[in-house]
Amino acid sequence: QSALTQPPSASGSPGQSVTISCTGTSSDVGGYDYVSWYQQHPGKAPKLMIYEVSKRPSGVPDRFSGSKSGNTASLTVSGLQAEDEADYYCNSYAGSNNLGLFGGGTKLTVL
């Protein structure tokens, strides 16, 4: 199975909102509500930001939200802050006998 498709880059000014997409198929993103998003700052380990499409772990600001429509999941960051500049990766369950698929990653730049 192929990796999920994310735009290589996204950007926004402080205070603005930006949305990052993650496109798969009906066998992964579209078929299950098990999409998660991870934030990775340079030289650091990834951090869970969203799971099961739209749930936020404790400690993640409510500026981060997730949604899904058909085969595309989205991560929206509202009220952009400088510290949001990072790489973001989506992940989806892709059926039995499969650990899941990651997206290729999106580099978010805060202008």
Q: What's the token pair of residue 88?
A: 């973001």
Binding mask of the shown chain, residues 85 to 104, with x at each position contacting another protein by CB under 8 A: ----x-x-x--x--xxxxxx
Please identify, using beta-carbon distances, which residue of 17 and 24 lies nearer to another protein: 24
Complete edge-to-edge strand list for the sheet that includes strand 18-23: 18-23, 72-77, 64-69
Q: Is 24 in the site for another protein (CB under 8 A)?
A: no
The residue among 75, 80, 87 whose CA lies nearest residue 110 is: 80
Whose Cβ is closer to another protein: residue 13's or residue 42's?
Answer: 42
Q: Which ranges in 1-111 belong to alpha helices (H)?
A: none
| Terminal CA-CA length for the chain | 35
Q: How many residues bind another protein (CB under 8 A)?
A: 23
Which residues does 21 contact at the CB level (< 8 Å), separation at least 6? 6, 7, 72, 73, 74
| Minimum CB distance to another protein, residue 107 (Å) | 11
**Which of 52, 79, 81, 83: binder of another protein (CB under 8 A)?**
52
Which stretches of the chain bind another protein, using CB under 8 A?
3, 32, 34, 36, 38, 45-48, 51-52, 57, 89, 91, 93, 96, 99-105
